[in-house]
Amino acid sequence: GESVGLHLPTLSVQEGDNSIINCAYSNSASDYFIWYKQESGKGPQFIIDIRSNMDKRQGQRVTVLLNKTVKHLSLQIAATQPGDSAVYFCAENGGRGSNYKLTFGKGTLLTVNP
Amino acid sequence: KAGVTQTPRYLIKTRGQQVTLSCSPISGHRSVSWYQQTPGQGLQFLFEYFSETQRNKGNFPGRFSGRQFSNSRSEMNVSTLELGDSALYLCASSLVQGHYEQYFGPGTRLTVT
């Protein structure tokens, strides 16, 4: 069935290092992907998105890479800071066939050590 | 610009009761989506409203319903509450239909006893 999964449930990095959070998706019809950050006690916060006609998109300190061949999505955070500690979710929209229903991964907990 | 607001923030209900949650989107946003978040199932899409019409629906029973008003504010209703309905209910708004660049509220924590 359709699913969005994350390779690693937890990731621990040192402050200043780069972080890479991975996500596998199974619905090849998805044409829009999003990364969210959720801090404890808060709702998810939009980080960056990418459409399926792109393979890379950059934001402020973040880069999303999309590899449609292997159905893989990654979020790279440069110079990770303690404030980046949170759960990160990827999501896919399922494409027209699913009427663009958003499906989320289970999340990766990123811990940044000072 | 004010963010998405949800009321109430916390709610305790008893099995069999019903509950109504409210969401006010960011000014100018016309799409409102609702999600349920639980430790076991993660974030699951409930439904999306745009211009007062439900445009999309997730795989939830008919006990879960919603509506959107002309000012884009939305309400979600859950009837005949079950213990498994205990969750964080999140609302998100965006300018256009289809989840593009949507912004979430802080959620309503519902506990069913």
What's the pLDDT band for B2 if we cut at 50, 70, 90?
A: confident
Contact B45 A103 (CB under 8 A): yes
- For residue B23, the distance in angstroms to the closest alpha carbon of chain A comes to 13
The answer to whether A75 and A90 have CB atoms below 8 angstroms apart is yes
CB contact under 8 Å between B56 and A106, yes or no, is: no
Residue A5's pLDDT is 47
**Residue B103 Cα, gap to closest chain A Cα (Å):** 6
pLDDT for position A6: 40
Q: Which residue of B has its CA nearest to A91?
A: B43
CA distance linking residue A14 with residue A7, whole number of Å: 20
Chain A CB within 8 Å of residue B92 CB: yes
Q: Which of residues 51-110 of A touch B (CB under 8 A)?
A: 89, 91, 93, 99-107
Consecutive 10-residue runs of chain A (114 residues): their mean pLDDT?
A: 52 96 89 93 92 95 96 96 96 77 89 94
Mean pLDDT of chain B: 94
pLDDT of residue A98: 67
Query: For residue A4, what pLDDT is reported?
Result: 53
Give A69's contacts (C-beta < 8 A, 6+ positions apart): none
What the block records as the tokens of A3 is 């699913």
Residues B22-37: tens digit of each pLDDT: 999 999 999 999 999 9
pLDDT of residue B47: 93
Measured CA to CA, the distance from residue A113 to residue B107 in angstroms comes to 28
Residue B80, pLDDT score = 97
Q: Does the structure show a pLDDT above 90 at B110?
A: yes
